[in-house]
Structure 1
Amino acid sequence: MAARAVASGPGGDVALLWRALRQWRYLAGLGMDGLGFLLQIVALRSVPIYAVGAALAASLAVTAVVAARLLGVRLSRMEWAAVGVVCAGLALLGSASGAEGDEGGPVWLKWAMLAAAGGVLLLGSVGGRLPERGRALALGLGAGLGFGVVEVAVRLIDGLAPGALATNPAVYALLLGGGAAFLLLTSALQRGSVTTATAGLVLGETVAPALIGVVWLGDRTRPGLGWLAVFGFAVAVAGALVLSRFGQAPVEQGASTVTPR
């Protein structure tokens, strides 16, 4: 809500972010996001990446229920069904998920994550110049990929000693990817269709990190339940995409608006 309440004006993404940071609601949201990020790190060190990614995408179901109760938003039957689908998908995924993988991945993966974080910044620079619909999708997808870099990078940090952190490319990938994702998401919320941007966010932060976790980091399912995990993951993400409009909060009177598509 704070991002959308920022009046449009001159300047690029950094200027838009600075104006948002001057609103108390944005700062309060940052504090809640910070707490959520700490919980995400704990989750990523405990369960497979695909389960964490699907749970993050499923937060839209929580948003939808809260919006219906506290903000007076009316959910259609399809949207209520999507909330149920997301919950069912998570239940299936949780029942099929195995333990977190114990593989450290190839050496080059840490550097690949750092390069991917730089690519997110480049995508944001190019996407910000696209027409509205393409811009929202590019910025949202870029933000999702940046958060995906964070998910993988957390798993690639294998030591917390200052010397080990300073020489680990995954640490810099985490910082750069998270910062870039934060910047792109703020820009997407302010300058394009929030529904489209949120859909791109869901896809970017779930699919690629899940594949990396399975292929290179040893994430597995319970024996014989691989099909159930894949099905649950697909169901949860599909339901989240249906609910992607709930990335959009009501816009206050007099605030800058962007017409949702």
Structure 2
Amino acid sequence: MFCALGSAICYGTASVLQAMAAKTAAPGSGSGVDAALLLRALRNWRYLLGLALDGCGFLLQIVALRSLPIYAVGAALAASLAVTALVASRLLRTELSRVEWGAVATVCAGLALLGLASGAEGDRTGSAALRWSLLGVAVAVLLVGALAGQLPTRPRALVLGLGAGAGFGVVEVAVRLIDSLAVPQVLANPALYALLLGGAAAFLLLTSAFQRGSVTVATAGMVLGETVGPAVVGVVWLGDHTRTGLAWLAVLGFTIAVAGALTLARFGEP
């Protein structure tokens, strides 16, 4: 859980830096996903620092996913918005209202309940069908991004956010499905390609969402996309469970943490 929270700190800080960089990048000609936008953002030192923090966060996330159920790690990553709010209040001189301070406290309370209720990670390795399905979802995320440019501004932001969240969710599940790093086995595992494609697609969609439309709406969509779906996959197909008799407490903690994160969604945008 300490690794999951450390990952949230890295991701939350990186979000502010990357949002600032994406907003200053020159806009492209389209309204959907702009792959060149990512290249333009990479010229900004804030975006590069954000990527370095993302890398540290990802390593901590891997450690957490090998020890905790996906639902617990997903809720902790959603809590990165609480970190984003606190960092934005310092770097961007934004002020937190009483409701937003309450949301930060709510996120912390929800994570505390999850920590008490979470059991060990599930012992199932996942079927071949699940691995190939995960790769299919990663491809679908890219297609969703391509189609998002045809939508009006508000639904476009929501679709980009949900797509980015789904991509990050693919990464969460894929980490659990890679059971061997030996070269012949790992290269034959569809989960490896799902992880790479899902992560890249999520970055593309999220960077575009930071620059186009309502980033508040996009961030809320991202939180839902990266928490709910992977949590269901972990419980149903990978055997994630809670401590005996504490399933209700885990559901309550998960709901509270995600609800608090959604309240803070506006801090995806500087």
Q: Which residue of 2 aligns with 1:7?
A: 26
Aligned-residue offset at 1:77: 1.0
Q: Which residue identity is paired with 2:179?
A: D
Aligned pair partner of 1:142 in 163, 166, 182: 163
Query: In terms of mean alpha carbon deviation, does 9-18 or 198-207 score higher?
Result: 9-18
Q: TM-score, normalised by structure 1?
A: 0.93
Q: Which residue identity is paired with 1:2?
A: A
Q: Which residue identity is paired with 1:228?
A: L
Q: Which residue identity is paired with 2:238?
A: L
CA distance in 2, matches of 1:191, 1:7: 12
Q: Which residue of 1 aligns with 2:43?
A: 22
CA distance in 2, matches of 1:14, 1:66: 27
Aligned pair partner of 2:229 in 192, 198, 208: 208
Aligned pair partner of 2:174 in 140, 148, 153: 153
Q: Which residue of 1 aligns with 2:146?
A: 125
Deviations 1:137-191 (A, max 9, x none): 0001000000000000100001110001110000000001011001100011111
Q: Which residue of 2 aligns with 1:73?
A: 94
Query: In terms of mean alpha carbon deviation, does 113-122 or 126-135 score higher?
Result: 126-135
Q: Which residue of 1 aligns with 2:117?
A: 96
Q: Which residue identity is paired with 2:186?
A: L
Aligned pair partner of 1:183 in 196, 199, 204: 204
Q: Which residue of 2 aligns with 1:38?
A: 59
CA distance in 1, matches of 2:189, 2:28: 39
Q: In the comparison of the two structures, how many residue pairs are matched?
A: 249
Aligned-residue offset at 1:23: 1.2
CA distance in 1, matches of 2:34, 2:26: 13
Q: Which residue identity is paired with 2:201?
A: A
Q: CA contact under 8 A between 1:128 and 1:139: conserved in structure 2?
A: no
Aligned-residue offset at 1:70: 4.2
Q: CA contact under 8 A between 2:28 and 2:34: conserved in structure 1?
A: no
CA distance in 1, matches of 2:88, 2:129: 43
Q: TM-score, normalised by structure 2?
A: 0.90
CA distance in 1, matches of 2:223, 2:172: 13
CA-based RMSD of the aligned residues comes to 1.1
CA distance in 1, matches of 2:37, 2:200: 15
Does 1:217 find its partner at 2:238?
Answer: yes
SS of corresponding position for 1:103:
coil
CA distance in 2, matches of 1:128, 1:58: 29
**What stretches of structure 1 of length at least 5 have no aligned partner?**
250-261
Aligned-residue offset at 1:66: 2.4
SS of corresponding position for 2:181:
coil
Identity %: 72
CA distance in 1, matches of 2:85, 2:171: 25
Q: CA contact under 8 A between 1:49 and 1:209: conserved in structure 2?
A: yes
The 1:9–1:174 alpha-carbon spacing in structure 2 relative to 1, beyond 3 Å, is closer
CA distance in 2, matches of 1:72, 1:173: 38
